[in-house]
Amino acid sequence: SPEQQLLQYSVSHSDNVACDLLFELVGGPAALHDYIQSMGIKETAVVANEAQMHADDQVQYQNWTSMKGAAEILKKFEQKTQLSETSQALLWKWMVETTTGPERLKGLLPAGTVVAHKTGTSGVRAGKTAATNDLG
């Protein structure tokens, strides 16, 4: 489906356009934020989409998660309580197929290790990168 393609591009390739189209489909960043909060994950905020963050680099700091929030999201994923079996398998597959950040988590582990992860990298302004992430 078109939605699955957008999810795959967003997860596996960090496609920001796909991410923003997905935000539109679910009702914007606030809808995702509310959903995450409803799962009991409080140390996470989703306020802005990719276009908003690219238009004003200070906006990116409104989206955040703590280490605890990130771990809680991964725990929910591992417990298989939020997604259908089919959706769970697809998300796992796309996280394993991530093409970005090969020198991050995946590059630090022995060759052949299966790594399901999602990277994120902010833009570079004045020679500085505000954020480099790899969650998995």
**Spans of all domains in the chain:** 2-135
pLDDT band, very low/low/confident/very high, at 122 (cuts 50, 70, 90): confident
Chain segment 84-113, per-residue pLDDT in tens: 999 999 999 999 999 998 899 899 999 999
User: What token pair was written down for 4?
Assistant: 């699955």
User: What token pair was written down for 106?
Assistant: 């995946």
Q: Cα(29)–Cα(32) distance, rounded to whole angstroms?
A: 5
pLDDT over 90 at 133, yes or no: no
Region 2-135: CATH code: 3.40.710.10
Chain segment 39-61, per-residue pLDDT in tens: 999 999 999 999 999 999 899 99
CA 107 from centroid of its chain's CA atoms = 19
Please check whether residue 94 is in contact with residue 5, taking contact to mean a CB–CB distance below 8 angstroms. no
